[in-house]
Amino acid sequence: MTSSSLKAHSSELKAHKNRLSRISMREQFGADKKRFSKFSVCTDDMIFDYSKNRIDTPSMKALVALAKSAGVSNYRDRMFAGAQINETEGRAVLHTALRNTSGKPVLVDGKDVMPDIQKVLKAMAAFANKVRNGKYAVTEGKITDIVNIGIGGSDLGPAMATLALSPWHNGPRAHFVSNVDGADLADTFKKIEPATTLFIVASKTFTTQETMRNAESARTWLKKQLCKKDVGQHFAALSTNLEATRKFGIDDERTFGFWDWVGGRYSIWSAIGLSLMIAIGPKKFNEFLEGAHQADLHFQSEPYEKNIPVLMALLGIWNRNIWGHATQAVLPYDNRLSRFAAYLQQLDMESNGKRVMMNGKRATSDTGAILWGEPGTNGQHAFYQLIHQGTSVIPCDFLVAAKPQEKMGDHHSLLVANCLAQSEALMIGKTEDEAKSELIASGMSEKQAKALAPHKVFEGNRPSNTFLYKQLDPKTLGMLLAFYEHKVFAQGVIWGINSFDQWGVELGKALAGQLVPMVKDPALAKNKDASTLGLLASYHELKKAK
Ligand code: G6Q
């Protein structure tokens, strides 16, 4: 991967920006009645509308040319073919194989990985069915609650998706514990019955400090609650480390594996999805995989001009590198997508938050934008002020379903109207003259209106994309997630970085390891900077305080 293409294209792209900065989107929509159909893509039951960006046909052509010269399709094909594109970890990147429902083989080093994938999926489905229909019995029969213990990629995907798909949830209650803060586990203990709970320890490595400590504390709690020495039947494991799962006391028949070519943040499609599968059932889980597979086919076959993830990537680069917008908001008008932004934060920021390129040199352009968000309409009553009138421009992704998951009077019409109103307002804005006229029409004097009008101005011209889909169902969710995954991938290719490693999380982990003994015992606090030593000393003091 190389970022020389972005460098080579940037003066042309900047010239387009300079030209477009003199035209408002309001004018563009006024002048071209076909703007929506020109700048939107339909697939299946989903529409991706990107017409509310500061673009026109020539600038889009220039962006598509950038994707071509960066070799996005070449890297894409190498990824799908199992090449070791994760060079810094010497691994293939094959989460797409996990949802390959086509029946076609996928070769890694000459070996078809599909039979192993299908074997695990089959074992997961058999176990999930047993848990769901009460045939997997523990201390007091039927499982009523499952608790996924995992963190990062082993938590965010299943937690987000289980909430998003709660209307299809007909299995045992699902809980998710990730934080090493004992409050997470303690609050969960209050909601579950020990005798009928299954803990699913989700950890690719089975060495992650937070997860292992939470799993050990869950085991201790169970032993105490059930007055039993062996509580192994209350545990299942999702891991690539069989030695460690056995050592923990989890039977191989309740251990579901995956492979080193599945990155943590791309692992919802693997055994890591077991809690979701138990919640919604194997059939719906399969529809979730099918949706992602459809998105994979789209990414592989559509020309760049109609390729949703490529367009998302290019618009992101346009906004980040050419217009200089440092952040990106994701605003689902879908309450059950309330963990969607958190999930995407990991996907996007852990993948593309890199300042070193594949060639070991410092990146020649800015890379991953800061991603954040909350569901609308709640956000409207909180931080949208800054999005509309703040000094920074924040490109937004809006997401909304045509059909609600719940039928409740006119709630959904209100939700949709709010969603469309926000992107319209961001695009169209309000001039000072318009603001002043409105104030005068409301009965204000000319003088008062003149003084207040500047506060009521909306500059407009603020970019957004909108995903409109039929309904938030398993297939649609699978599709959406895969589109975002491929967007991140295509951006990584254009920036010349490796989107599949995460060395940036290592230093903090190592230092935490050093600090644990010093936090436990003040006498051991040494060889640290003055701030850390000062904080340690204060911590030990405050701990003693009454
Ligand atoms: C994701 C990261 C990271 C990982 C967690 C949990 O891509 O690698 O978020 O998922 O650190 O790791 P384990 O699954 O090994 O416990």
Predicted confidence (pLDDT) per residue in 82-122, tens digit: 999 999 999 999 999 999 999 999 998 889 999 999 999 99
Contact in structure between 405 and 471 (CB atoms under 8 Å): yes
For the CA of 265, the closest atom of ligand 1 is 7
Contact in structure between 389 and 425 (CB atoms under 8 Å): no
Kindly report the protein residue whose alpha carbon is nearest to atom 16 of ligand 1.
203
For the CA of 202, the closest atom of ligand 1 is 14
Question: Which residues, listed in sequence order, are joined to residue 173 by a DSSP beta bridge?
Answer: 145
**According to the model, what pLDDT value does residue 4 have?**
62
Kindly report the protein residue whose alpha carbon is nearest to atom 9 of ligand 1.
152
> What pLDDT, in 10s, does the model give residues 305-351?
999 999 999 999 999 999 999 999 999 999 999 999 999 999 999 99
Kindly report the protein residue whose alpha carbon is nearest to atom 11 of ligand 1.
152
What does the pLDDT average to over 363-376?
A: 96
Nearest CA among 122, 92, 121 for reference residue 109: 92
Kindly report the protein residue whose alpha carbon is nearest to atom 2 of ligand 1.
264
What's the order of all strands across the beta sheet hosting 173-177? Answer: 173-177, 145-149, 197-202, 235-238, 255-256
Q: In whole angstroms, what is the distance from residue 312 CA to residue 66 CA?
A: 13
Judge whether 381 counts as a catalytic residue. Answer: yes
Specify the pairing of strand 40-43 against strand 370-372.
unpaired
Which position among 14, 61, 403, 509 bears the catalytic label?
A: 509
Residue 141's pLDDT band (boundaries 50, 70, 90)?
confident
Contact in structure between 171 and 279 (CB atoms under 8 Å): yes
Query: What share of residues in the chain are helix, strand, coil (percent, to 5)?
Result: 55, 10, 30
SS3 175: strand
**According to the model, what pLDDT value does residue 140 have?**
73
> What pLDDT, in 10s, does the model give residues 170-197?
999 999 999 999 999 999 999 999 999 9
Spacing, Cα 515 to ligand 1 middle (Å)? 21
Rounded percentage of the chain residues whose pLDDT exceeds 70: 99
For the CA of 272, the closest atom of ligand 1 is 14
For ligand 1, mutation pick of 86, 151, 509 (most atoms within 8 Å of CB): 151
- pTM for the structure as a whole: 0.97
Q: In whole angstroms, what is the distance from residue 109 CA to residue 340 CA?
A: 35
For ligand 1, mutation pick of 208, 209, 352 (most atoms within 8 Å of CB): 208
> What pLDDT, in 10s, does the model give residues 464-482?
999 999 999 999 999 999 9
Spacing, Cα 29 to ligand 1 middle (Å)? 45
Kindly report the protein residue whose alpha carbon is nearest to atom 1 of ligand 1.
264
Residue showing tokens 């289980």: 162
For ligand 1, mutation pick of 502, 503, 507 (most atoms within 8 Å of CB): 502
Integer angstrom CA distances of residue 538 from 34, 477, 528, 533? 64, 47, 14, 9
Q: Which residues line ligand 1 (CB under 6 A)?
A: 151-154, 203-205, 208, 211, 263-265, 350, 502
What does the pLDDT average to over 146-169?
A: 98
Spacing, Cα 155 to ligand 1 middle (Å)? 9
Rounded percentage of the chain residues whose pLDDT exceeds 90: 97
For the CA of 205, the closest atom of ligand 1 is 15
Q: Taking the CB of residue 388, how many other CB atoms lie within 10 A of it?
A: 18
Q: Taking the CB of residue 452, how many other CB atoms lie within 10 A of it?
A: 13
Record the tokens describing residue 386, joined without a space.
């800054």
Q: Is 30 exposed, middle or buried (0-12, 13-18, 19+ CB in 10 A)?
A: exposed
Q: Taking the CB of residue 158, how many other CB atoms lie within 10 A of it?
A: 28
For ligand 1, mutation pick of 154, 203, 272 (most atoms within 8 Å of CB): 154
For the chain, first and last CA: distance in Å?
58
For the CA of 208, the closest atom of ligand 1 is 16
With a cut of 80, say whether residue 255 has pLDDT above it. yes
> What pLDDT, in 10s, does the model give residues 47-72?
999 999 999 999 999 999 999 999 99
Spacing, Cα 97 to ligand 1 middle (Å)? 19
Q: In whole angstroms, what is the distance from residue 180 CA to residue 165 CA?
A: 26
Judge whether 169 counts as a catalytic residue. Answer: no
Q: In whole angstroms, what is the distance from residue 345 CA to residue 329 CA?
A: 10
Q: Is 313 exposed, middle or buried (0-12, 13-18, 19+ CB in 10 A)?
A: buried
Spacing, Cα 489 to ligand 1 middle (Å)? 18
Nearest CA among 308, 262, 284 for reference residue 49: 308
Spacing, Cα 263 to ligand 1 middle (Å)? 8
For the CA of 152, the closest atom of ligand 1 is 9
Spacing, Cα 284 to ligand 1 middle (Å)? 25
Q: Is 531 exposed, middle or buried (0-12, 13-18, 19+ CB in 10 A)?
A: exposed
What average pLDDT does the structure give for the chain? 96
Q: Is 366 exposed, middle or buried (0-12, 13-18, 19+ CB in 10 A)?
A: middle
Spacing, Cα 72 to ligand 1 middle (Å)? 26
Directed axis angle between helix 282-301 and helix 114-132, to 10°?
A: 150
Which position among 33, 104, 190, 381 bears the catalytic label?
A: 381
For the CA of 263, the closest atom of ligand 1 is 7
Which position among 350, 354, 412, 436 bears the catalytic label?
A: 350
Judge whether 12 counts as a catalytic residue. Answer: no
Residue 38's pLDDT band (boundaries 50, 70, 90)?
very high
With a cut of 80, say whether residue 2 has pLDDT above it. no
Contact in structure between 477 and 280 (CB atoms under 8 Å): no
With a cut of 80, say whether residue 12 has pLDDT above it. yes
Spacing, Cα 154 to ligand 1 middle (Å)? 6
Reported residue count of the chain is 546
Residue showing tokens 């995954």: 485
Residue showing tokens 């703040």: 390
Residue showing tokens 């989890």: 250
What does the pLDDT average to over 382-390?
A: 98
Say what the alpha-carbon torsion angle 294, 295, 299, 300 is, to the nearest 10 degrees.
-30
